[in-house]
Amino acid sequence: MTVLTLLTDFGTADSYVAEVKGVLLSRAVGATLIDVSHGVWPGDIRSAAYILGRTWHRFPRGTIHLVIVDPGVGSARAALAFRAHDHWFVGPDNGVFTPVLHDAEVEAVELPTPSMASTTFQGRDLFAPAAAALACGAAVSELGQRFAGMPKRLAYTPPHHEGKVIIGEVIYVDRFGSLITNLSPELVPSYAVLEVDELEIGGLKQTYNDVSTGGLLAYVGSGGTIEIAVRDGSAARRLGVGIGGRVRARLG
C-alpha cells in the first residue's frame, strides 16, 4: 500500500487541500493519504522544513512526501521530485527539504510545468500529479529532466560559545506557543541557566508540573532540543519572541 504524506500551508477553510487530494486519489487509486499539517503559517518555509524534519523518517521506506509551502509559486524556482534515504519527495526547490538532505544521495529531476497548469496553484496541477505518478510506480527519471546539483538548503546559525555562554536561537514555535530552540542537552548541562532576550528562565526542568500555572520553564522537548514554555500558557505571547529569537545558556 502506497503512503503519501501532505504538508502544506493551505489551511482547512478553503478548497485547496481537497483539490490536491482529489487529484491524488483519482490518479493513485487506493493510496493512503496522511495529513502531516496544513496549518503552516502562509509561506513559512522554515517552519515547514522543521515539521518535515520531525516527521518524514517516522514513515516506512517508499513513502512519498508531498510538500507544498511555496511562496515563489509560478516563479523561476525549480519544481522537484527526488529520492533520498529510500523515501520520495515532491515540492518546490526553496529550501523546505533541507532536513532530508544531510548525508543523502539524491536522485532528483526538475518537473516540467504542464501547459494548462495554474501559475498560482501548482500544488494541484504540477506537484500532485507527479506524486501520484510515483505512487503508481513511475521511475523518478520518467517525470522530468535530471536536476543538476543539490536542492536548495536553508542557512542556519548553529549554536556558538561567547565566553561562558552558549548562544542559540528559536527555530520553531508550536501551536501551544512553546519556543523550540537549536540548543541540545549535550550543549546545555543541567547546571546551566537559560535566558531568552535577557530574561532569566532558570535551569532545565523535567515536566510542566515543575512550575506553577503561568510559570516559565525550560526543558528537553520530544524533538531532542531545549524548549521554552509557559505552563498553561504561551511563551511566544508572554515573551514576544518568535523564530530567530536569541536563547542563552549561562554556564557560570
pLDDT tens, residue order, the chain (252 aa)? 799 999 999 999 999 999 999 999 999 999 999 999 999 999 999 999 999 999 999 999 999 999 999 999 989 999 999 999 999 999 999 999 999 998 888 999 999 999 889 999 999 999 999 999 999 999 999 999 999 888 999 999 999 999 999 999 999 999 999 999 999 999 999 899 999 988 999 999 999 999 999 999 999 999 999 999 999 999 999 999 999 999 999 997
Range list for CATH 3.40.50.10790 in the chain:
3-146
Range list for CATH 2.40.30.90 in the chain:
160-250
Of 190, 193, 195, 194, nearest in space to 206 by CA? 190
Whole-number pLDDT of residue 179: 97
Domain 160-250 of CATH type 1.10.443.10: no
Any idea which residue has 504538508 for its cell? Answer: 7
**Is 0.75 surpassed by the pTM of this model?**
yes
Class level of CATH domain 3-146: alpha beta
